[in-house]
Amino acid sequence: MIPHRVPRVLRLGPARLTAGLDHTRRLDLPAHRTLHGEPTTRDLDTLVSEVNEVDMRGRGGAAFPFGRKLRAVADAAAGRECVVLVNGAEGEPASSKDAMLLVRNPHLVLDGAILAAEALHAREVVVATAQGEVGESSIAAAVAERRAAKVAGASESHIQIRVVGIPERFISGEGGALVRGVNGLEAVPPGRKRRAAESGVDGLPTLLSNTETFAQLAILAELGPERYAEVGTSKEPGTVLLTVSGGAAHGAVLEAPTGTPLAHVLDLCEAEIGDGVLMGGYHGAWLPIDAAKTAEISREGMKLAGATLGAGIIVPLGETTCPIGEAAKVTSYLAAQSAGQCGPCRLGLPDLARAMRALAEGTGSTDAVRRAVRAVERRGACFHPDGTARFVLSALDAFENDIALHLEYGSCGRPIRGVLPMPETNDEPDYRLDVDWTRCQGHGLCAHLLPEFVDLDDYGFPSFRPVPAWMAKEARRAVEMCPALALRLARSGGGTRVRPAHRLAPSR
């Protein structure tokens, strides 16, 4: 399986996770074995000892100690069956590192997952990836390559491997959502926190970690702890995968030793910092230009700078786009991506998105945004509201000067160029509100419920602007609450109209 297009790779320092990718689009099994060899099986104590010696942490963003995860699953299983689950369902639009590994170096991921599975005596390895993407095809082809090698008599593991495609959404990579998706349910957070180590795939104890984590485990097994720690910092040895996009002339997945100055990464990618650099993705935080120039690529370095390394996402903003407009656009996206299972997600995030849009249009205030943040912070059933709140608050701090221009002049004078990566939205139609003028009595309630999309004339009668898909639920609420039953909601360009559920019964 040779993909036609692959994520671009750059590096600073030695090539480990990206070794061999200069010369081929994808490493098949023979090429992988030539480059990395076949890992030697470890028992659980040995594997945990090696992992703890280099303090390996999960690379999905939470940085949880991997050795503790291994022990937790082993203790929960206590001789029963367990499962290893690889989280490759990368729902974060600004990240490409998981896709790069699955597409270009899938066998390194599988080596690490199988090492963990053999140490835990697991029943199977499950690789969850974005449904219908090249990564799903590549990892499925890698599994087929291993089966063929096993039939041919090559020394390959007896562990069963299963690939599961998950519909791609921002929240689909959350641990509980991923487990639900693999179990055949909707891939949304379960609401009630359940540890995968205790009950995950098919209700079994499950070792759940990110794609890069398992690739790093394979590299650790290949090099041993001492050689693994030859690069990086003493507290965080090894390399890290970074996704650089936004205002970078050369967007890429970049491998660098921990401790590398952020400025070196930005220089290699010919990136303009502009008003700031987003670190850690859309649940991360903005670094202003001065902090970005001195920050180091590590968990500790980012914490000192006031940001988070997260999943290694770096998005320089550049100088030609509107900072607060970009932030407002992402906030709207995050509001649309919620599971809608709790008040902070269903009501609070749309309110926060409206407050950010008003700020970008020069009609809002930072106080209104902060009030909306307080309504969602630490109140959600999952981390999505908290992550969104962090993103918004850091934008208020980083773009203070730009916000002042918007509030004084209505704009900073720069267009919103869409520098921050966003997924394709062709399947998300806009909606329109229609009114039955024979019924409308000019109550104005629709303008109160949807102030961004409904304007009232001097007599209180409404005119409408297109309603984006992420606000469809709020528009339906306006339709339901119209006292005169005069509103209808339809897809732009035609389509089925959404009528009030409490419409009048037909005459008899």
Quick one: tokens of 473? 């639920």
**Percent of the chain scoring above 70 in pLDDT:** 94
| The residue to which tokens 């039955």 are assigned | 436
pLDDT over 80 (residue 508): no
Query: 350-387 b/e with 16+ CB inside 10 Å = b?
Result: bbbbbbbbbbbebebebebbbebbebbbeebbbbbbbb
CATH number given to 431-498: 3.30.70.20
pLDDT tens digits along 294-344? 999 999 999 999 999 999 999 999 999 999 999 999 999 999 888 777 778
Q: Which CATH class is domain 323-409?
A: mainly alpha
Nearest to 470 by CA among 300, 356, 320, 323: 356
pLDDT over 90 (residue 79): no
> What average pLDDT does the segment 35-45 reach?
95
Q: Please give the angle made by the CA atoms of 321, 272 and 426, to the nearest 5 degrees.
A: 45
What pLDDT does 80 receive?
A: 87
Give the right CATH number for 239-316 from 3.10.20.600, 2.40.30.170, 3.40.50.300, 2.40.50.140: 3.10.20.600
- pTM to 2 decimal places: 0.85
- Quickly list DSSP for 424-467: --TTS--EEEEE-TTT-----HHHHH-TTTEEE-TTS-EEE--B
pLDDT tens digits along 183-216? 999 888 887 778 999 999 999 999 999 999 999 9
Dihedral, CA of residue 70, residue 90, residue 219 and residue 123, to nearest 10 = 40
pLDDT tens digits along 256-301? 999 999 999 999 999 989 999 999 999 999 999 899 999 999 999 9
CATH number given to 9-228: 3.40.50.11540
pLDDT tens digits along 435-473? 999 999 998 898 888 887 888 888 889 988 888 776 777
Cβ contact 82:205 at 8 Å: yes
pLDDT over 60 (residue 506): no
Domain boundaries, the chain: 9-228, 239-316, 323-409, 431-498
